Amino acid sequence: MGRVEPSPRTGARGIGGILLHRTGLARHGKGISEAVRAAAIQLTSNGDFDRNLATADRLVRAAAADGATLVVLPEKWTALGPGETVRAGAQGLDGAAIGWARAIAKELGLDLVAGSIAEHVDGEPKLRNTCVHAGPDGEVHAVYRKLHLFDVEVDGVAYRESEYEQAGDEVVLTHAADGTGVGLTVCYDLRFPELFRELAVRGAEVISVPSAFTLATTRDHWEVLVRARAIENGCFLVAANQIGERPPGLRSGGRSLIVDPWGVVLAAAPDAETHITANLDLGHLHAIRERMPTLRQRRPDVLGGAPEVLV
């Protein structure tokens, strides 16, 4: 369903009528770099956990069958809707959602960024919006709690995540089984470039963006922001968005994206529950960082921020 096939004449990739550039393997150092094959899963989640889980399971397996070893689910894939729906679907990290994520990551031998779930933390009155990285060993390798809560108004609809969620307070970089640096973010974080810069400085080569962007903000801002964060930081972005309508008439815009460090869209999802895949050539990334050394040219002495750059 979500696989993108190369055009035999141009080498571009097409899906849903969109032609997409394909980046091949690039020479880096003395050898030829290997590509990480990544996938973004696009879902229409609602308040039915069993249904959401079954769809996620099917699409993660399809992505693995397409060769993906790094898979990203969207935001709140377990339960999405108004505050009461999210609260009703909240789980702990020892619950069924993360249990499944650990099991399927081990079974399929992949790194799974399990989107985000509404996490219930014992002793805390509010939930957390929590992203978990499960590795091919079946263990939890990183836990990130969304830093920026979505308290905004879009098209006359007020969203107030802070009414039932508490923001996190930690920047989280994790590593895939092959050592690739993976930065963890969630949805609204995309509008805060300082988080992405911090992740890149700490060594992120790929940044995951599990999301549930509204229809309006997907239409007008989504691709611009995803491509900008990739270009600014010389990183691949794997941005998995929700698609479609959920009660009470709220809509997400889809168009999940995989973007390279030059801002080129490697894969884009059609308007359906699906998966997309692309090769992330780390040699290409490091070549771009050498030609456009913005990370090394930062001025933390003037502007602040971490002084060290891991590239």
Q: Is residue 245 part of a domain?
A: yes
How confident is the model over 98-114, as pLDDT tens digits?
999 999 999 999 999 99
pLDDT at 159: 81
Give the global pTM.
0.88
Residue 140: which domain range? Answer: 36-294
Give the mean pLDDT of 112-140.
97
Q: For residue 275, which of 28, 68, 75, 133 has the smallest C-alpha distance?
A: 68
Q: Is residue 11 part of a domain?
A: no
Q: Is residue 283 part of a domain?
A: yes
Q: Is residue 30 part of a domain?
A: no
Contacts of 226 (CB under 8 A, 6+ apart): 190, 209, 237, 239, 257, 259
Q: How many domains does the chain have?
A: 1
When the pLDDT of each residue in the chain is averaged and rounded to a whole number, the result is 89
Question: Is 75 noted as a catalytic residue in this protein?
Answer: yes
pLDDT at 26: 35
CATH number of the domain where residue 208 is located: 3.60.110.10
- Marked catalytic residue, from 146, 165, 205, 235: 146
Alpha-carbon span 162 to 167, nearest angstrom:
8
CA count, 13 A, side-chain hemisphere, 182: 33
Q: Percent of the chain beyond pLDDT 90?
A: 79
- Marked catalytic residue, from 161, 187, 205, 273: 187
How confident is the model over 66-86, as pLDDT tens digits?
999 999 999 999 999 988 999
Q: What is the DSSP letter of 127?
A: B
- Judge whether residue 20 has pLDDT over 90: no
Give the mean pLDDT of 134-158.
92
Question: Is 235 noted as a catalytic residue in this protein?
Answer: no
Alpha-carbon span 256 to 218, nearest angstrom:
10
Token reading at 184: 């963890």
Residue 32 pLDDT grade (very low, low, confident, very high; cuts 50, 70, 90): very low
Give the mean pLDDT of 261-266.
98
Q: Is residue 165 part of a domain?
A: yes
Question: Is 146 noted as a catalytic residue in this protein?
Answer: yes
Alpha-carbon span 68 to 70, nearest angstrom:
6
pLDDT at 250: 85
Residue 14 pLDDT grade (very low, low, confident, very high; cuts 50, 70, 90): very low
Q: Is residue 50 part of a domain?
A: yes
pLDDT at 33: 46
Residue 311 pLDDT grade (very low, low, confident, very high; cuts 50, 70, 90): low
Q: Is residue 311 part of a domain?
A: no
- Judge whether residue 30 has pLDDT over 80: no
Q: Is residue 15 part of a domain?
A: no
Residue 1 pLDDT grade (very low, low, confident, very high; cuts 50, 70, 90): very low
Can the peptide bond before residue 248 be classed as cis, meaning omega within 30 degrees of 0? yes
Number of helical (H) and strand (E) elements in the chain, helices listed first: 8, 22
